[in-house]
């Protein structure tokens, strides 16, 4: 099924409400419930992690289902010391897209003194609405949608957090660099 320009705002909102409801139930039943059943003390750890998490939502111009997760290194001391790891998950269901970013720091790192890490500015910024933590009480829905390809493609959202040197693997001791293509 492909969406076209004749799709009404009410139809998009209905899909977003259904998709958000499904995601909320999945998150509630899988993540939090399993975590708390395994260790009730995780509730405080979960609350601490939530302070370093952000959630954005957006719209798609066609019906899609999928997801993409990647991690990134958090460095301190001008890039000399690895102090944590971040994760970004992009989930798209129906006409709805959600991106969640969270940061996890190593013990002993003064997290309160480190501002949240932001992705480089790009075309995705105007197509997303930050819903956690909430930055505004009112917003227009839907924002300009992501498309299946081209300059507004969903691939740009999945690549939104990529910056810096491209490496094949990050280890606790450093990085494994890609071979030089000239050699």
The pLDDT of residue 57:
95
**Is 120 a domain residue?**
yes
> In whole angstroms, what is the distance from residue 63 CA to residue 17 CA?
14
Q: What is the pLDDT of residues 56-84, one digit of tens each?
A: 999 999 998 999 998 888 888 887 888 98
Contact 147, 154 (CB under 8 A): yes
Q: Which domain holds residue 23?
A: 9-164
The pLDDT of residue 177:
65
Q: What is the pLDDT of residues 2-48, one digit of tens each?
A: 443 344 555 555 555 555 554 554 444 444 434 444 544 444 444 55
Q: Which of 19, 11, 101, 123 is nearest to 64 (CA)?
A: 19
Tokens of 157: 């959202």
**Is 152 a domain residue?**
yes
- What size, in residues, is the chain? 183
**Is 51 a domain residue?**
yes
Residue 41 gets which letter from DSSP?
T
Model confidence, pTM? 0.65
**Is 171 a domain residue?**
no
**Is 2 a domain residue?**
no
**Is 56 a domain residue?**
yes
Across the chain, which distance is largest between two alpha carbons, in Å? 57
State how many domains the chain has. Answer: 1
The pLDDT of residue 97:
94
Residue carrying the six token digits 């998009």: 12
58 membership: H or E segment, kind and range:
strand 53-76
Q: Which of 105, 79, 90, 76 is nearest to 158 (CA)?
A: 90
**Is 172 a domain residue?**
no
Contact 72, 88 (CB under 8 A): yes
């Amino acid at each position: 099924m492909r969406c076209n320009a004749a799709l009404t705002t009410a139809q998009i909102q209905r899909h977003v409400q259904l998709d958000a409801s499904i995601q909320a139930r999945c998150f509630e039943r899988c993540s939090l419930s399993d975590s708390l059943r395994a260790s009730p003390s995780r509730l405080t750890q979960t609350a601490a992690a939530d302070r370093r998490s952000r959630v954005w939502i957006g719209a798609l111009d066609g019906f899609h289902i999928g997801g993409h997760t990647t991690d990134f290194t958090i460095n301190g001391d001008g890039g000399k010391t690895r102090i944590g790891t971040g994760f970004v998950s992009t989930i798209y269901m129906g006409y709805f897209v959600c991106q969640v970013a969270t940061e996890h720091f190593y013990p002993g790192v003064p997290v309160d003194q480190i501002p949240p890490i932001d992705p480089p500015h790009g075309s995705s910024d105007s197509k997303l609405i930050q819903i956690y933590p909430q930055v505004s009480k009112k917003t227009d829905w839907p924002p300009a949608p992501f498309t299946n390809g081209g300059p507004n493609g969903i691939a740009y959202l999945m690549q939104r957090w990529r910056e810096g040197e491209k490496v094949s693997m990050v280890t606790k001791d450093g990085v494994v660099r890609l071979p030089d293509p000239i050699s």
